[in-house]
Amino acid sequence: MKFEIEKQDGLTRAGKITTPHGEICTPCFVAAATKATVKSLSVAQIEELGAQAVLANTYHLLLQPGVDLIARAGGLARFMGYDRPTFTDSGGFQTMSLPGAKISQDGVVFKSHIDGAKITMTPEDSMSAQHQIGADIHMCFDCPIGYGETDTSRASAEKSLRLTHDWAERCLTEHGKLNRQHDKNQQPRQVLYGVVQGGEFTDLRRASAEFFAGRDFDGYGIGGMYTAEQGKEFLPLVNQILPNEKPRHWLGMGAEPRDLFVGVQYGIDTFDCVAPTRQARNGSLYTRGGRINILNARYRDDLAPIDAECACYTCRNHSRAYLRHLFKSGEILACTLASIHNEYFVVNLVDQIRTAILSDNFVEFRDDFLEKYHGAKCAKIDSEEKS
């Protein structure tokens, strides 16, 4: 992997990540293909809406269809039929979120949510599984704050961070062994990101950033921050410590435009989040004036597109009234058309942010967009009544 910074102002930057499956122009929103699919969308639709890369989940693929099958298919990109860059997360967040998961120095023991089978995942297991999945970019097996414990106390945070750092060392060692095997087989090397944790504790965040900055990772994931407010507090601290010449990914972020602007402002290069398609399946759709709930009665006779400024397939061809009809009728197409719009909206917004950085007007673009998005009444969808 190669990372090139094209323009930078403070922590805000635009660049380019080069992988064996192509380039990622950053900042970039990476589509969440949790089970080797972006929910309700075909690969052709993912490509048409402009997604440069996808991220799959190691835990889910380990259970279904099994990483050995994906390896025999030639890796995640070939298995999906998606000839573009791919990421995998480690599966740590998912395994440790399961009821009854047992965390130890060695790793995690959990039960499959599918058949109840008892499974052990160690840092070495996660690396092996990710190499079999064959994505271009992997994440270290980490221990998020609060998992395996009854609270998010200081003691719990310290314990989780020790495990994260110990496991990262083991991931790095195993990853190196597996890459040397790739060399012998004349296969492309794969890339490993360390995952910075630390919870809400500033000194732990700093310690984690310093730990990962001092080791030879190819890039960095930032974990355990799930609001824009947390990002404003910790991203400047972390990203001033991490090496500037390596890429940074904010794990699980991008549910709202403000998340994306905060991330980019403070040095994030790539994002992933399931929210755009999840919200779409529930009828919650992005517009320049804020999110709307397409199920509301006001849209029954509304023949305008979801967003008049949007160039996605759905907005070019269908009206709000048609989308509402599909949802009310229980038609599967509703989820597809809504997901195309939401995913395009977020992917395209980050592309516009990149253009603004390269044009030296990031701040102006940010302020103008957020004023329109958060200033509209339709952004307050929770208070609307359904009919």
Q: Where are the beta strands (DSSP E) in 247-366?
A: 248-250, 270-273, 284-285, 292-293
> How far from each other are the two terminal CA atoms of the chain, in whole angstroms?
51
Q: Which of 218, 269, 272, 307 is catalytic?
A: 272
The residue count of the chain comes to 387
Tokens in use for 295? 């199920």
Query: Do residues 144 and 103 touch, judged by C-beta distance below 8 A?
Result: no
Residue 192 CA, distance from chain mean position: 15
Tokens in use for 151? 């609270």
Q: List, in sequence order, every residue forming a beta bridge with 13; answer none if it has no partner.
A: 8
Q: Which amino acid is at 277?
A: T
What CA–CA distance (Å, rounded) separates 293 from 135? 36
To the query of whether residue 89 is one of the catalytic residues in this protein, the response is yes
* Bond prior to 123 in cis (omega within 30° of 0): no
Tokens in use for 259? 């998340």
Q: Which of 89, 136, 218, 259 is catalytic?
A: 89
Residues 6+ apart with CB under 8 A from 337: 313, 314, 318, 323, 326
To the query of whether residue 272 is one of the catalytic residues in this protein, the response is yes
Tokens in use for 336? 């597809």
Q: Which amino acid is at 12?
A: T
Tokens in use for 64? 């279904």
Tokens 């492309």 sit on residue:
188
Catalytically annotated residues: 89, 272
